[in-house]
Structure 1
Amino acid sequence: MSKQRRPARASLIWASASATAAPAYQPRVQGESVPGASTAIAEPATQEPTTRGLAKPGPTERTATARAPRMRPRPPAQVAGAAKRSARQTTRAVGAETMRGRVPGPNGLHPLTDLDGNARLQCYEDRVKAAFDRIVPVLKQISALQHESDFEQHAQSIARAELGFDLPEHMLADAWVTQLDLRRLFAWCVFETYRRMADDFFANDPLGGREVHAFDRFIQDCGFHQLDVTPCADGRLAHAISYVLRLPFGAVRRKPYAGGLFDVENTVSKWGEVELGRFREGVPNTADAPTRYLKTVIYHYSSVDPHHQGCAAHGSNDAAAAQAALDRLLAFRQSVENGFCCGASVALLLIGMDTDTDAIRAHVPDGEGRMDLTQSVDAIKVYAITRDLEPTAARARVAELVKAHAPATADPGMLRLVARLIENNLSQIDYVRQVHGGRYADAGHAERFVGVGIGFEEIQLRNLTYFAYLYTVEEGAADLDVGRKIFGGLNVSRGLPIPIVIRFDYHGGVPGARERAATRCRRLDAALADRFADLDDRGLLHRLLVVRDSDAGTGIEVVGSSLDAQMSGGH
C-alpha cells in the first residue's frame, strides 16, 4: 500500500504491487451481531473455514427467501423501541439489522456470490480433475497384475470401471514377456482422458460459455466491441476467464503467453481482422459505433510464497511482471497508432491475480489509457467492505468504490466494466474459500499436460495445462523451455513422461485449411522430438496431434500420436 496519503480517496482499497491477500475467511455464525455500515475495511478472520464444498440452499430455503415480504420503514419511535428491545432479545436484534440493510449472505458468503454458478463450476472441476488424477493409482493397480494369466482381461476390466475406457490391446499383449511399458500407457491414458474431456466440452458446453449475447450487449454498452485477454501461460491462470472473471469464454479472445508477454504483431493482426469484420459485416457491431477494442493482460503473484511461487518468467518479481505486461500493452497501442493513426480505437486494462486465492486487483486507466502500477482496486478488500450489505446495496457500493478510487478522467464505460469484473470475482473468492479452504493446496505447479500450438478453448481449469502458443519451436523456445522445467519436476523426476498435446485450429471454410493444420502438427511434432531428444529417446516425451475446425464448432480430431502402434519403433 502506498504510504502517501490521498485525501480524496479511501486509500485502504488501493493496494501496491507487493500487497498480499487478506487472511482466510471465517464465516459468521448464525445469531452473531453484525456491525453497522462502514467505509473502512474490516479485518477478515484468520481461522480457516469450518466447511468445505459448496452447500446450495435447498428448495425450501430459496422459496422462503424469494417470498420474504418487504419490510416497510418504521416510524422513529418504533425504531427506538426496537433498539431497546434488541438489548434483551437477540433474535429481534437480528431482525432490526435486517431492516437496516445489514444482511449476511447465506452460510456467511458474500451477498453477491452466485451459489448456483459456484456449484456448477465445482461439479465440473471435480469431475474433470478426478478423471486425470485416477490415472496413476489405476496404473499402479494394473502394474501389480501384469504377470497373471488373465492379465489382459483383468486390466481392461479395471480400466473400464475406473477410467471409463479400454486400454490399447497392443500395449497389454506382450506384458507377459516383457515389462509393461507404463510410461507409454500413462501418456495414452492422459491423451484419452483429454480427448473425452474435449468432446464433452464442445458437445455439451458444461460451463455455459457459449451464452454470449447478454455479455456482448453489456460490453458494447460499456464502449467496447472486443475483449482480448492474455493471461500468463502458467497453468494456475488457465481458469481465469470462466472461473476468476466469470466471463463466457465464447465472447472473449484468450491467448496466454509466458509472463503475459503477448505477440504484438499477432495482436495487431487480430485487431485488424476484427475492425475489418465491423466494416464489412457489421460484426460484432458496425464500424461507426463508438466502441473500442479492449486489450487486457493478467499478470500474477503469490500471497503465500511471493518469492518462489510468483511468475516464473519474471523470477517471481511481482513488480517486474506488472511492468512488463504494461510495457507490452503500451507497445500494442503504439503499434496501432503508428500503423493506422487511430489509437482511440484501442483501450487497455491491466489485472493482477493472486494464484493462491484467485482474488484480482484492477489497475484502472485514466482517460488517456495511463495506469499507475502502485495503485489498484483490490477485490479482496472490496469483499470485506461489502460482505454484510444487501445484494442491491452491495452492487451499488462496489460501483461506488471503483469510481471513487479511479482516476478522475477514467472512462465511465471502463469503470462499469471493472465494477462488473470485481463483482464477478467475489463469487470466485467465496468459491476458493469454500472448496479449497481459502487458499489452493497446490500453491505451485500441478499441471497434467502441456498444450502447444493454437487453440485449446476447452481448457478452462486451473493447473490442468501449461500453454505454449506458437507456430514453430523456434518462436516459442522460451515458453517450451519453461514447460520442460515445470514438468521436469512434476513428471520426469518421478519417471513419468511429459504428455504434450499439439493442436492447431483452422477455418473449415478455407480450402486446404485442415490439411495445412495437420501438416503444422506433424512438423511441430518432429521439431519437439528433436529439441528434446534426450527425453524422447528415454520414452519421457509423448505427443498427441489434434486439429479442430473452429468454424464448425465441433470437437477435436486426432491426426496422429507418438504412441501409434506403427510408430512404436521410434523416430
Structure 2
Amino acid sequence: MLTRRRSHRDSLIWATAPTVHSRGRGRAPAPHTPAVQTFHRPEPVQGQESHPGHVHRITPPAHNGQPPLHPLTDKAANHRLQAYETAVKSSFDRILPLLRELTGLRREKGFIAKAQALAEQTLGIRLPEHLLEDAWIKGLDMSRLHAACLFETYCRMADGFFAHDPLKGHDTRAFNAFLQSCGFHLMDVTPCADGRLAHAISYVLRLPFGAVRRRSSAGALFDVEDTVSKWVEVEHARYRAGTPNTADAPTRYLKTVIYHFSSRHPSHEGCAAHGSDDTAAAGAGLERLLAFRQAVENGFCCGASVALLLMGLDTDTDALRIHVPDAQGHMDLQLSLDTGDIYHQTLSMTPEAARRYILEQVRRHAPAAPDEGMVKLIAQLVEHNLSQLDYVRRRHGGAYPDQGHAERFMGVGVGFEEIQLRNLTFFACLRTVEEGAADLDVGCRILGGLNHPHGRPIPVVIRFDYHGQVPGARERAITRCRQVDRAMTERFAPQVRDGLLHRLLVVRDCDTRAGLERVASSLDPTGQGGHR
C-alpha cells in the first residue's frame, strides 16, 4: 500500500559462534538476485473473499512458543549473527561484574595475582599492573580500571574480528556482481553516527561490509567534499585499472543516506542531531544527497553518473522506511515504503509470491516510473531486512529493550570497520577535532549521560587506519592520533582533569588482515596519553 509519512577471548570469542552455512550459498550468504517480473496478486485462499486492495494473509501457527518466521527469512544467517552478537556484547557486559568482584579482593593477600587471574578467567585479558599496585592502601581507581577493561576488551574483539572474519564480510564477489547487475559500481552509505545504527550494514541491510563504503556522521550529514573526492578516486580506478568495472560500463556511483527515528518514542528517542524530528532528519539527508549530485555535476559535468537513495531506520524495530527514487532520481519525502508493512503483508505468502509482491510495491512507491535496476536493488534490501525483523522478533519480541542510547565507548577518527553491532559504539568520523567538533560534542554528551552519573568515564578510542603500501603512512597516522588526542584533552579539559574521559590511541594497516597497533593511552603510567 502507499504510505504517506506523518510529520511526526582472542579467538575464544569466535569459538562460541558456530560456523553455519546458509541455504546452499557457500560460506557467506550471498544476495539473492530476483528477476524483474510482472506482479501477480496471489490466488485467493479458499473461504476468503477477494476484493480490490485485499491482501490475503494466513497467520502461521507459532512453533515452540516462538513467533512464525517469514518465508524469506534466512534462518542460518540469523543464527550466525546472533551467536556473534551474543559473544561480543557479553564480553563487554562482564566488565562491571568483574570490577565489583575486584573491590572485595583488594585487601586480600596476593591481590594482584588474584585480580589478574580473575580478569583472565572473566574477560580473557590482563589488567595494567600499575592500576592494581597499592590498592590495599589507596583503594582501587575504579574509573581507570573500567576504562582499562573496556579498552582491552575492545582490542581483543577487534583483533579477533580481523583474524577470523566472523561475519564473512570480506567475501564481496557475489554482492559486487549483483550491484553491477543493478547498474551501480559502488554503494557508499552514510548512517547517522548514533550507535543504534552501527549494525546497519551487516545486520539491517545484510550486506558484506567489505563491499560497502560506510562513513557515519552525526545526523547522517556527510561531508560533501569528502564524498566527491571518493567519487573521483573510484572513477579514476575505473578508467585506469578497470576496478570495480571498466569506465565504459553503464553503472553509477550510489550514495545512500540512512537517517533514523523511533516509532515508540518519536519525540524523545529520534536523532539527537535533529531534535528527534524525523521530518527534519529526512529533509536534511535529502538536501545533502542533492548537494553531492550538484557538486559532481558542477565540477565534472556528469551528474548522471551518480545515483541517490534515502532510507530511514526505526531504531526500535530495525524496520526500514525507503524513499524510492524515480528514474530521474527524484524522491518524495512524504512517500515511503515501510518494510514493517511489507513483512506483515507477505508473512503467509510463498517465497516466490512474496518476492513478486515486494517488486511491485517498490515500483508503486516511486513518485514516477522508477529505474528497474534501482527497483531490483531495493527489493533485495527489503528482502534482507525481513530477516532482520524476524531477528528482532525472535530475540526481543519485536522491539529492542534498549530503545535509547547504550553505547559502550566512542570511536573517533577513521576506520572501525569491525564495529558492526548495534549500540556498541558512537562514531565520530573525522581527521581533526575542529572538523568533527559537532560529532564529538554529541558523543560526549551521550556517553557522559550514560556513564558519569555512575562514576564511570567516557572511553574514547582514537583510531586512524592507513595504507601500509604508502611510504610514511603509518607515521602520519600515529601523528594524527596524537594531534587529535591533544586537541580532545583541550576541548574536554574538565572531564579529562576529573578522570571522566580516557583515551586509547591505535592505528591499523588496512591493506592487511592485521590487528590493531597500540600507540598510547591516558591510562599509561605517565598519564600523558598521546602527548609528547
**Both structures adopt the same fold (TM-score exceeding 0.5):** yes
Confirm or deny: 8 A CA contact 1:105 1:111 kept in the other structure: no
Residue range with higher mean Cα deviation, 222-231 or 159-168: 159-168
3-state secondary structure, aligned to 1:510: coil
- Partner residue of 2:228? 268
Distance 1:111 1:406 in 2: 25
For 1:556, the equivalent position in structure 2 comes to: 516
Taking the aligned partners of 1:513 and 1:335, their CA distance within structure 2 comes to 29
1:465 maps to 2:425: yes
With over 3 angstroms needed to count, the CA separation of the structure-2 counterparts of 1:254 and 1:17, relative to structure 1, is farther
Distance of 1:563 and 1:329 partners within structure 2: 41
SS at match of 1:176: helix
1:106 deviates by 8.1
Counterpart position of 1:109: 69
Q: Secondary structure at the match of 2:526?
A: helix
Identity %: 64
Name the residue aligned to 2:326: 366
Map residues 70-219 of structure 1 onto 2, 5 A cutoff: 104=60, 107=63, 108-219=68-179
* In 1: Cα distance, 2:139 partner to 2:481 partner: 31
1:90-144: CA deviations, max 9, x gaps? xxxxxxxxxx997949841100011111111111111111111110111011012
In structure 2, what is the equivalent of residue 518 of structure 1? 478
> Contact (CA 8 Å) 2:261, 2:312: kept in 1 or not?
yes
> 1:406-464 CA distances to partner (integer Å, 9 max, x unpaired)?
23321100000010111110001111111012111111000000000001000000000
**In structure 2, what is the equivalent of residue 92 of structure 1?**
none
* Cα distance between partner residues in 2 of 1:361 and 1:317: 15
Alignment correspondent of 1:30: none
Which stretch has the larger CA shift, 528-537 or 291-300?
Answer: 528-537
Alpha-carbon offset, residue 397 of structure 1: 1.7
Q: In structure 1, the residue corresponding to 2:170 is in which secondary structure?
A: coil
- Return the alpha-carbon distance in structure 2 between the equivalents of residues 553 and 239 of structure 1: 21
Equivalent residues of 1:221, 1:413 under 8 A apart: yes
- Which amino acid is 2:345 matched to? I
Report matched runs for 1:366-515 at 5 Å.
366-515=326-475
Residue 177 of structure 1: how far off its partner (Å): 2.0
Q: Secondary structure at the match of 1:491?
A: helix
* Counterpart contact for 1:506–1:550, Cα < 8 Å: yes
Equivalent of residue 242 in structure 2, options 278, 282, 286: 282
- Name the SS of the counterpart of 1:409 in structure 2: coil
Preserved contact between residue 142 and residue 155 of structure 1 (Cα < 8 Å): yes
Q: Which of 323, 326, 331 in structure 1 is aligned with 2:283? A: 323
Given the two structures, how large is their TM-score scaled by the length of structure 1?
A: 0.82
Query: Equivalent residue of 1:559, what SS?
Result: strand
**1:541-564 Cα distance to aligned partner (Å, 9 max, x none):** 111111111112322211111111
Shift of 1:570: 11
Q: Assess, with a 3 A threshold, how the Cα gap between structure 1 residues 570 and 516 changes in structure 2: closer, same or farther.
A: closer
Q: For 1:144, what is the secondary structure of its paired residue? A: helix
Structure 1: unaligned runs, 5 residues or longer: 1-9, 20-55, 60-81, 85-99
The structure-2 alpha-carbon separation of the partners of 1:192 and 1:205, relative to structure 1 and needing over 3 Å to count, comes to same
Q: Name the CA distance, whole Å, in 2 between partners of 1:211 and 1:18.
A: 40
CA distance in 1, matches of 2:394, 2:313: 19
Corresponding residue number in structure 1 for 2:189: 229
TM-score, reference length from structure 2: 0.88
Alignment check: 8 A CA contact 1:184 1:539 kept = yes
Cα deviation for residue 399 of structure 1 reads: 1.3
d(CA) in 2 for partners of 1:323, 1:376: 13
Paired residue secondary structure (1:566): coil
2:189 and 2:262 map into 1 onto residues whose CA distance is 20
- Partners of 2:413 and 2:114 in 1: CA distance: 38
Deviations for 1:8-31, whole angstroms, at most 9, x for unmatched residues?
A: xx43xx241547xxxxxxxxxxxx
CA distance in 2, matches of 1:454, 1:120: 28
Give the equivalent residue in structure 1 for 2:207.
247
Partner residue, 2:525: 565
The 1:338–1:568 alpha-carbon spacing in structure 2 relative to 1, beyond 3 Å, is closer
Equivalent residues of 1:183, 1:497 under 8 A apart? yes
Distance 1:101 1:234 in 2: 36
Q: 2:271 matched to 1:311?
A: yes
1:366 Cα offset (Å): 1.2
Q: Which moved more, 1:535-544 or 1:280-289?
A: 535-544
CA distance in 1, matches of 2:77, 2:247: 35
Task: Give the distance between the partners of 1:481 and 1:282, measured in 2 at CA.
Answer: 41
Structure with greater Cα Rg: 1
Q: Distance in 2 between matches of 1:209 and 1:407?
A: 34
My pick for the range that moved more, 408-417 or 274-283, is 408-417
Matched residue type, 2:123: L
Query: Would you say 1:16 and 2:10 are equivalent positions?
Result: no
Match of 2:136, SS? coil
SS in 2 for 1:461: coil
d(CA) in 2 for partners of 1:492, 1:483 = 13
Deviation at 1:276, TM superposition (A): 0.2
The range that moved more, 167-176 or 472-481, is 167-176
Which of 524, 534, 539 matches 2:494? 534
The count of corresponding residues between Structure 1 and Structure 2 is: 486
SS in structure 2 of the partner of residue 505 of structure 1: strand
CA deviations 1:442-495 (Å, max 9, x no partner) are 110000000000010000000000000111111111111101110111111211
* Structure 2 CA distance for aligned equivalents of residues 569 and 340 of structure 1: 44
In 1, distance between residues paired with 2:288 and 2:458?
Answer: 31
Instruction: Give the letter for the 1:410 counterpart.
Output: P
CA, structure 1 residues 386+187, in 2 after alignment: closer, same or farther (shift >3 Å)? same
Contact 2:162 2:513 in 1 (8 A): yes
| Contact 1:17 1:318 (8 Å CA) reproduced | no
2:382 partner letter: I
Do the aligned partners of 2:359 and 2:379 also contact (CA within 8 Å) in 1?
A: yes
| Cα 1:311/1:519, change in 2 over 3 Å | same
User: Which of residues 279, 293, 311 is equivalent to 2:253?
Assistant: 293
